[in-house]
Chain A
Amino acid sequence: MIEINLDVMMSKRRISSGELASRIGITQANLSILKTGKARAVRLSTLDAICRELNCQPGDIITFKEEQ
């Protein structure tokens, strides 16, 4: 199962949802969908923008965990 650790990285970088959404060009609602793991897919362009703004690697935000 894919886990999204966006909120962890956001708190490390001390950036709010509104500010991050504004910087990467998506709505706060869409960012919330992403954070809560409800998204079905993520565009590479969105992932690229998130990593650039949070100064991190994709693996810092997205992890894979075996379902038990």
Chain B
Amino acid sequence: MINRKVSAIASLVICFISAAVLIVWLFSFPQFFELFYIRYHHLSAENEAVRHVASIVVPTFYACAPFAAAALYLLIRLLFNIIREKVFIIRNVWYLRIIAACCFAVCAVTLTAGLRYAPLLIITFAAALLGTLLRVVKNVMHAAVELREENDLTI
């Protein structure tokens, strides 16, 4: 079994890689979309349908990017707390609550965009599921914080 600290560090590395990808995409998402959607499928950028998809997907990405950035930042702070052995503290509960809220915000954005381009509804569902999962984890963590406080004050 992998050591707990090593596992947290591995999660931290994944978060930093995700953050790096997000930063790169912030500056180059239209080009990325052109490369992987238009050129890969041998489509024409002048095609009306392609321009329609691009006009929905690219702004949706930029609308979701702040929430993704906030979620990654809080996730990194949460992981640093875990590495420092500060697991069951109220601040971590707060972080999880905000990350879940970011997921629901992405859900709302992609739902709005999904009304015009249906495949984005997959992201809507995934974000809603992830947000709900994080809320449950937050509830469990909150209960654990209360148990820890009770234990700390048991002499």
Contact = CB atoms under 8 A, between A and B. Distances in A.
B150 to A, nearest CB: 5
A43 interface: yes
Interface string B137-153: 00000000000001001
Band of interface residues on A = 10 to 19
Interface residues of B, number: 4
B153 A38 contact: yes
Nearest to A41: B154
Contacts of A56: none
17 contacts: A30-B155, A31-B155, A33-B153, A33-B155, A34-B155, A38-B153, A39-B153, A39-B155, A40-B150, A40-B153, A41-B153, A41-B154, A41-B155, A42-B154, A43-B154, A43-B155, A46-B155
Nearest to B149: A40
A41 B147 CA distance: 12
A26 interface: yes
Interface string A1-40: 0000000000000000000000000100011011000111
A15 B153 CA distance: 23
Given A30-B155, A39-B154, A43-B155, 15 more contacts: A26-B155, A31-B155, A33-B153, A34-B155, A38-B153, A39-B153, A39-B155, A40-B150, A40-B153, A40-B154, A41-B150, A41-B155, A42-B155, A43-B154, A46-B155
